[in-house]
Each structure stands twice: as structure tokens, then as C-alpha cells.
Amino acid sequence: MVKSTYQPSHGVVPPLPPGWTEHKAPTGHTYYYNAETKESTYKRPGAVLATAPAPAPMDPMNSYVQHQTVPQINLSDPAVANAFMAQYGQPQHQQGQRGGHGAGGRGGFQPRPRPQPVDKPRSKVAIPGCEPWILVYTKYGRRFAYNPVKNASYWRIPEKLMPAILELDKARIRQKAEGKAAEQPPKEGTQDAKSSTPAATAQQSEREATHDYDSSEYEEVEVTDDEEGEDAGQDQDGNAPKRQRTEEPAVDDGPAEFTEADIAAQLAAMGAEYGDGYGDVEMGEGGEGWEEGDEGLPLSDEDARELFKDLLNDFNINPYSPWEKLIEEGKVFDDARYTVLPTTKARREVWEEWSRAKIQELKERRAKEEKKDPRIPYMMFLQEKATPKLYWQEFRRKYRKEEPMKDTRLSDKDREKWYREHINRLKLPQATLKADLKKLLEGVPLSALNSQTLVSNLPPQVLSDIRYISLDPKIRDPFIEAYIKGLGPPPDGGEVADEDDEVTKKSREERRKREKALQDRERAVAEDKKRQEKKLQYERARLRCEEQELERAMQVSKKGLQSQLAVDRQAGTPADKDEGGS
């Protein structure tokens, strides 16, 4: 086969592939558009030869084309030769640019691409009722919300601005339907008038008719103030590539504006966001939700404080334990009396008050018991002072001035006996001491030792026994606490001895009244919750119906909207005249 010796000229521009057309932008730049794929680019597309597959990138070390595997094609045709050179010379050109040569590929036959235009803000409109927010329109018909105070810009319109912007769009649609000119934004709006010349308008409309794109073709990116003041978004060479969004094809015909379809889409998005979140917002901020109803019938501050103290008493809270332990255990959280006080600070204040009173009460009770049984203070004294290093004579001589050693109700013989027995028991293994203590606890009746007994308020028959003080308190107290948890409640006749006391009767009657008031409050709260839930369900259903009606009403063409506005205007004309006449 005879090979062609034809050398294509570098000045001849290769033909466009099928389906591509060349156009001129208002700025004078040339761009190319494919009507089938809806794709536009500033870079001239190369010809795709149907007879040859796409070749692999050329190795920079291979300087001659004849060393490559080239498909057998006819290069005698100048058009085919130009297309072939454009297709095979492109990788060298790109590689030359990446290498920093600046002149393109081998031979420098391809010129440097021209700087591409950047979408810039052109006008702005203040959003009524949402100051200081403003709505900024760009050169390509896009728009974004801008807050000059927070120095923030968003392509996606914030939800709180949607109602005001929706009213602006409706007003603009009405003005267009009535044949009125849209309001020109202050100051920066003069640039719109310059760009709306007949030639520019005709050229722009021709481009939109051919291009058929709207604002949804652009990528949704966040705009910063640097982009407003400078040409942000450019690449390292100062070029701003024009990119398309391929997620949703452009289906709206007309200029890239906020049309009826956009309004309907925003309403649909707002309705979708309302869904379940609407009720949450209403319940949290509307003032009619469950949080307000949870307060129920008002309780006096004194009743609320006493109810919280009753809660602490019923759960057998140790007054010597810290507040953090009570919160960490969390066993009082499920009780309704925990919420009678509104804040944690108030609960802690009542807890501190209750702890001080409870500790004082325990001290007074212990003092009464010690007066009744002198063995109790002596056993506590032995637990604190006795040691195997001292004989009884040394111990008695060293602590002879202590109050338990001077109590005349105890004889020296009994003191010596208990001292020697306690010293001997300290030498026993810990398991034996625990077993003896368990036998002691098992011998106490349920009326004196039950599940409501505190470790700090054990009965006298336990405190006065030598087996109680033989075990170290760090081991003894958790052991007794675990044993008490396994006991049952006190029997019906196992109340305190002063059951018939007038003070006790009065306190119990006051507690019954407080508990009855709490039950009434909980009942009212439950009823109010039911009413609020029914009301909330009704409001949600009504809101969905209204949104569906609004969505159906907004999904009309521009002609249908104009005709509807004309009918409304005609229907309102007689009323206006009557009002003017009156």
C-alpha cells in the first residue's frame, strides 16, 4: 500500500466531531455545544474517527510517529489528516503544559487556551423581613443568599429565608404577568441595564434556546466573600472550567431564573422538611407542647421540697454519701417525685438540707440508744482504740480519762472481759469473722433489721455485740449493706415504737396529702398529653392537606399562572372600584 506523504498544516483547524456546534458567548469567547449530550465546553473537541479506536498516550521518548502502531487509514484527504494530527498530537500538548514548557506539545502548534469567564455577582436585592440578608444575582442568572454581618454566603437558600424569597418571586411573576418592568436593585443594578441591550439579549436568548440549560446545571458550591471580590474558582492557569451537573437534566425551558417550577420545588422541599420535624419544633418552641404540659397542676415550693425528701427517705439514701454517688447510681430518676423540682441545682440544695437534718437525727437517735445501753459507746471506743500491742492494764491506764472508761454503769470486770475477747478475735481469719457477723445479723428480727434499715442506723442489739466490732469497717459496712438488700420489707406491725405519737401522725398525714396532690398532678399531665397529641396530629394532617393543595396549585405553566392572575385581577376590579367610591 502506498503511504501518503501529505503533511497537514498546523494553521488548519481540525473539523468538529458530529453533533458539535460552535457559538460565541456575550463576552466574545468561543464555546462549543453538543445538542445530544447537552454538554458545553470552551475547549475545542477533537474529531473522533469511526474507523480507529482511541490510541494510547504517546510516550514522550518516542519522537517519531512511524514508531507507533498506527491504524491503516487514508491520510491523503486533508480533512482526515488534520483530524488525525489533532487527535494524536493532543497528549503531547497536555504533557508539555504539565512539564512547564509553556508552549504546548512538540512543535508548539497548539496555542495556549484563552482565559475563561468567571460567574460574578451582578446585582443584589434586600430580603424583606430578614435583614441583614440579601439575595445576590450572578452574571449567569444564578443567585445565592448572603449575610454581610456573618460574612457568609450560601447557594442553598436557608429555610428561614424561603418564605420571604417566595414572596419576592411571586411579586416578580405578577409584575411580569401584568407587563410591568421588574424592580431594579439599587446601585449594582445598573450593570443589568448595560447587559440588556438588544444585541446581547438576542444573542443570549439564542444561546439559551440552543443550550437549553438553567441554574440547576451548575454545581452547588458554597460561595465565599473572596469569590465575590475576586475571580475565585480559577485553576492555576487562571482558567475557570465550565462544569455541568449531570445529576438532573435541565427540563425547564426559558432563562435561568426562579420560575414557577422552582417555587413549587422549594415548597415541596419545605413540605418534606416539615413532616415530623414540624411537630418537634412546635413542641419545643410553640409553647403548646408537652414540655409545658409536663408541669401539670402547680405545686407549692414547700410541697415540692417535702416530696423530694420523701423520695430520698423511701429509697434509703445514705446521708453520708456524696451527691455525685446519688446521680451516678440513678435509681431515683424513674420516680415521678424526682421532677417536682425544676432544676438540678434546686434538687441538690434540698438534698443537702435533707442530709444535714438526717445526720443530726441519726446522731440524736444514737445518743438516746447509748444512754439506754452503755455497751454501745464502749464497743465503739474499743473498735477505735484497742490494739494487741497493749495489755489491759496499759490500756486502762492510758485511757482512764475517756468518757466510756468512766461510765459507772459498766464494771471494770466487764470492760476487761470485752477488751480481752476483742483482742483475741482480731487474730482470727477474716472468713470466721464474717461468718460470726452473719450469724449475729440473722438473729435480729425483721422488725428491727429489714430492707429499709440503713447501715448507719443499725439496731442496738447489733451495735452492742462484740462480733460487730471485730471486723474492719471497710469490709464490714459493704457486707452488712449487701445482707440488708436481701431482706424483706418491715412487717405491718413493725413500725417504730412511737407510732401513736402525735408528731408522727401529723407528719404521715401531711405526706399522704402531698402524695395525693402528686397523683392528681400526674393524672392531669397524662390527660393534657393526650389532648396535645390529638391536636398535634390534627394540625399535621391539616398542614399536609394545605401543602398538597399549594403544590397542585403551583404546578402550572407560566401561561396558566398568568391567566389565573388575570382572572384574580378582573375579579378584584369591581371591589376596588366600590371601595374607591365609598
142-175: pLDDT as tens digits? 888 988 888 888 888 888 888 888 888 888 888 8
In the chain, where are the structural domains located? 20-108, 121-198+209-236+244-258, 428-489
CA pair distance 353, 330, nearest whole angstrom = 20
Indicate the pLDDT class of residue 81, thresholds 50, 70 and 90.
Answer: low
CA pair distance 175, 165, nearest whole angstrom = 15
Residues 70/3, Cβ–Cβ less than 8 Å: no
Beta strands in 252-307 (DSSP E): none
Share of the chain above pLDDT 70, in %: 59
Residues 340/299, Cβ–Cβ less than 8 Å: yes
Q: Which of 44-48, 208-212, 400-404, 561-565 has the lowest mean pLDDT?
A: 208-212
- Which backbone phi and psi does 368 adopt, to 5 degrees? -65, -40
Query: Nearest 5 degrees, angle CA 365-CA 371-CA 377?
Result: 85
349-382: pLDDT as tens digits? 999 999 998 888 888 877 777 777 888 889 999 9
Indicate the pLDDT class of residue 551, thresholds 50, 70 and 90.
Answer: confident
Residues 20/48, Cβ–Cβ less than 8 Å: no
Q: Name the more confident of 54 and 134.
A: 134
CA pair distance 525, 531, nearest whole angstrom = 10
- Of 141, 380, 374, nearest to 255 by C-alpha is 141
Mean pLDDT of 109-138: 79
What is the secondary structure of 492-556 as a DSSP string?
Answer: TT-S-TTTT-HHHHHHHHHHHHHHHHHHHHHHHHHHHHHHHHHHHHHHHHHHHHHHHHHHHHH-S
Edge-to-edge strand order for the sheet containing 134-138? 121-126, 134-138, 143-147, 152-154
282-337: pLDDT as tens digits? 333 333 344 444 444 457 888 888 888 888 888 888 888 899 988 888 888 888 88
CA pair distance 72, 91, nearest whole angstrom = 21
Residues 521/528, Cβ–Cβ less than 8 Å: no
CA pair distance 60, 72, nearest whole angstrom = 23
Indicate the pLDDT class of residue 240, thresholds 50, 70 and 90.
Answer: very low
pLDDT at residue 283, rounded to an integer: 39
pLDDT at residue 543, rounded to an integer: 86
Mean pLDDT of 455-460: 85
Residue 389 clears pLDDT 60, i.e. is over it? yes
Q: How far is CA 361 from CA 304, 331, 420, 542, in A?
A: 22, 24, 34, 60
pLDDT at residue 10, rounded to an integer: 56
- Percent helix, strand, coil in the chain, to 5, is 55, 5, 40
pLDDT at residue 115, rounded to an integer: 67
Q: How far is CA 372 from CA 66, 376, 377, 482, in A?
A: 120, 9, 11, 28
The answer for residues whose C-beta is within 8 angstroms of residue 581's C-beta and 6 or more apart is: none
251-282: pLDDT as tens digits? 444 444 444 555 555 545 544 544 443 333 33
Indicate the pLDDT class of residue 513, thresholds 50, 70 and 90.
Answer: confident
The answer for residues whose C-beta is within 8 angstroms of residue 249's C-beta and 6 or more apart is: 38
To which H or E segment does residue 433 belong?
helix 430-442
What is the secondary structure of 376-419 as a DSSP string?
Answer: HHHHHHHHHH--TTS-HHHHHHHTTTSHHHH-TTS-HHHHHHHH
Q: Does the pTM exceed 0.75?
A: no
Give start and end residues of each alpha helix (H) in 66-161. 78-98
Indicate the pLDDT class of residue 110, thresholds 50, 70 and 90.
Answer: low
Bridge partners for 146 per DSSP? 134, 153
175-232: pLDDT as tens digits? 888 765 444 544 444 444 444 444 444 444 444 444 444 443 333 444 444 444 444 4
> Which residue's C-alpha cell is 470552551?
42
Residue 57 clears pLDDT 60, i.e. is over it? no
Other Cβ atoms less than 10 A from the Cβ of 404: the count is: 20
Q: Name the 3-class secondary structure at 31.
A: strand
Cis peptide before 298 (omega within 30 of 0): no
Strands 143-147 and 152-154: antiparallel
Residues 35/3, Cβ–Cβ less than 8 Å: no
Backbone torsion region of residue 31, taken as left when φ is above 0, otherwise alpha when ψ lies between -120 and 50, otherwise beta: beta
Cell numbers standing for residue 316: 434509703
| Orientation angle between helical segments 375-385 and 412-425, nearest 10 degrees | 50
Q: Name the more confident of 160 and 54.
A: 160
Residues 440/349, Cβ–Cβ less than 8 Å: no
Share of the chain above pLDDT 90, in %: 12
Q: Name the more confident of 202 and 411.
A: 411
Residue 88 clears pLDDT 80, i.e. is over it? no
Indicate the pLDDT class of residue 558, thresholds 50, 70 and 90.
Answer: low
Bridge partners for 23 per DSSP? 31
Residues 133/147, Cβ–Cβ less than 8 Å: yes
Residue 557 clears pLDDT 80, i.e. is over it? no
pLDDT at residue 382, rounded to an integer: 92
pLDDT at residue 300, rounded to an integer: 80
Q: Name the more confident of 98 and 466.
A: 466
pLDDT at residue 455, rounded to an integer: 83
487-507: pLDDT as tens digits? 888 886 544 444 445 666 666
Indicate the pLDDT class of residue 476, thresholds 50, 70 and 90.
Answer: very high
